[in-house]
Amino acid sequence: MHQHIFMNVFPIGRAALLWLVAGAFLVTSCKKNTEVTPSIITSSAAIGNGEVNSWVLANMQHYYFWNDKIPATTDTSLTPDKYFLTLLYDRNNTANTDRDRFSWIQQSADDLKASLNGQSKTTGMEYSLYYRDASNTGVIAVVLYVQPGSPAAKAGIKRGDVISKVNGESLTGTNYQTLLSSNADSYVFGFATFVNGNLTDSDQTKQINAVVFQSDPFLLDTTYTIGNKTIGYVVYNQFVKGINKADGTSDNTYDLKMESIFGKFKQKGVNELVLDLRYNRGGYVSSSTNLASLIGKNIDASKVYYTQKWNSIVTDENDKTYGKGWNNQNFLTKSTAIGANLSRVFILTTGSTASASELVINGLKPFMTVNTIGTTTVGKNVGSITISDKSGQIKWGIQPITFKSANAQGFTDYAGGFTPTVRVTEPDPRKNNWKALGDLTEPLLGEAIFQITGTRMARRAASTDSEVAPIGSSIDSKAGGGNMFVTDILSQQ
C-alpha cells in the first residue's frame, strides 16, 4: 500500500470519505489504512502535459490553502513544473512574508515520497557553501555533518572539513551548482586546510561514491552531568517516522528510536534538555507530535499541541462531517516523557531550522519556557500534503501548502521566523575550524551549557567574528528545499 499524504487530520475511529480528484491518498491511524479510488480515472493513453496539468489544477483548487488566489485562466500547455509555479500565491513577491514560498512539484512521485522518508542518492554528507573571500569569486563547501555508515563517513570525512575542488576543478560562484549537483555516481573532492591561519588548498583528494542511502535523523544523543544538572542533548536532523520501504511506505523505526532516547534520558534523571534542530528543515508532523509529547511540561492527551487552519472548502466539509475541533492535534501520552523533570527547554536553531522544527517551538511555548539559541529560523508556519496518482499513469507528485498552524494559544504569526533568545552564529569557516557536534566548546551547544550552568567551556567569540552568511546548502536540495511540514491525511473508513 502506498503512502501518499502524511499525518492524522481526522478523528481516529470515525468513518470518512473525502472528495478526491485523480489522486490516491492514505490515512495512517490506529485502526486501519484505506486507499480511496480517485473520482476521475485517467485515460490509458500516453499522458500529456495538458492531462497532467488538469490533474494538478483540480487538486490545487480543492486542497491548496490559497485556492481563492489561483488565477482564473491558466496555460495548461506549459510543462507541469512551470505550470505548477503559475498557480502559487504571490510566489515572487519577496515583500510579502505570507506568500507561498514552499509548495513544490516533483517529476517522480516515488522519489518525492522516498525523500520525505529520509532516503535519497547521496554521499552521506551535508554541507554549506560560502564565498572563499571578499572577492566573492571562489567558493568552498564546509561539511556540516556526516551520516554514520555512509560513503563519506567511510572515507573519513568529518564536520568542518573544507572542500575547495570537485573533480579537479576549483569551486567558483559560476560552477559550484553544476559540480555539486550533477547527480553523479562518483565525485573526487579536493580539500583546503588552515596554514598559519589562512585557508590553503592541499594536495589531499578523496573519491566518494554516491549511493541510495537511508539517513538516520538522530545524529547524536548523549548526556552531560555538570554540578546538579543532568543535561540531555540530542541532534535531530529530520522528522522521519521510519525506514522507507520498496512499496513507498515507511515503518516506525525512528519514532521508536526517539522514544528509546528519551527513555534513556528519563532513566538517567535528565533535568535539562538541549534539542539541536539547527539543520532540521522539517518532516512528518506525527513525529513532531511525538517529540513535543516527550518534552512538554504539564501536558497530556487532552491538551492541544497545534491546530490546522485549512481553506474554506476543506474546513466546511469536515466541520459538517466531524464537527468543530477535527483540525486539532492533541499531545500524546508517552511513558518515556521527561517533561515532569523539566521547566524549560533549549533549542538550537539556524536559518536552516524550519517547519516541523518551528512547530515544536511554537507548540511547546504555551506550556513551558522555550529558549532558542543560534540565529533566526526560516518562518514556515504552513503545512503540506503529498498528492500522487493512484493509477500510476501520472508520474508527477505535488506537495502543495494546504494549512496554517497555530498553537494552543492561537498564535500562528511566525512567518518571519523565531528570533533567538540568545544570538550565536556558527564560526566563520574561512577563518576557523569547526568543533564537532556534541563538543561542549562548540559555540551553540556551549552557549546552552552556559545558560544552564553559568559556566563557559570556551571563550565566546564576538558576534562580528562570525558574521558570514552561506550562499547555499545541500540541505536546501532535500525534498522541496527541505522546507517540510508534512501530514499523513485524508480518508479513513
% of the chain exceeding 90 in pLDDT = 68
Is residue 367 classed as helix, strand or coil in its secondary structure?
coil
Contact call for residues 70 and 60 (beta carbons, < 8 A): yes
Separation of alpha carbons 90 and 328, rounded Å: 28
pLDDT above 80: residue 32: no
Helices (H) and strands (E) counted in the chain, each on its own, are: 10, 24
User: Exposed, middle or buried, 459 (CB in 10 Å: 0-12/13-18/19+)?
Assistant: exposed
Ranges 92-101, 172-181, 290-299, 483-492, most confident: 290-299
Contacts of 55 (CB under 8 A, 6+ apart): 21, 22, 23, 40, 42, 389, 394
CA proximity to 176, closest of 189, 194, 186 = 189
**In this structure, is the dihedral angle defined by the CA atoms of residues 93, 95, 96 and 101, taken in order, positive or negative?**
positive
Instruction: Tell me the pLDDT band of 346, cut-offs 50, 70 and 90.
Output: very high
Task: Identify the pLDDT of residue 493.
Answer: 20
CA proximity to 161, closest of 147, 181, 141, 175 = 141
Give the model confidence (pLDDT) of 295-345 as tens digits. 999 999 999 999 999 999 999 999 999 999 999 999 999 999 999 999 999
Task: Identify the pLDDT of residue 421.
Answer: 98
Buried b (16+ CB within 10 A) or exposed e, 340-370: ebbeebbbbbbbbbbbbbbbbbbbbebbbeb
Select the more confidently predicted residue: 99 or 183.
99
C-alpha cell at 402: 494546504
pTM, 2 dp: 0.83
Separation of alpha carbons 398 and 54, rounded Å: 13
Give the model confidence (pLDDT) of 119-147 as tens digits. 578 899 999 999 998 899 999 999 999 99
Q: Domains (ranges, CATH) in the chain?
A: 120-213 (2.30.42.10), 216-381+405-463 (3.90.226.10)
Task: Identify the pLDDT of residue 45.
Answer: 45
Least confident of 116-125, 213-222, 360-369: 116-125
Give the model confidence (pLDDT) of 394-415 as tens digits. 888 999 999 999 999 999 999 9
Treating both helix axes as pointing N-terminal to C-terminal, what angle do 285-295 and 356-364 enclose, rounded to 10 degrees? 30
Give the model confidence (pLDDT) of 432-447 as tens digits. 889 999 999 999 999 9
Task: Identify the pLDDT of residue 39.
Answer: 34
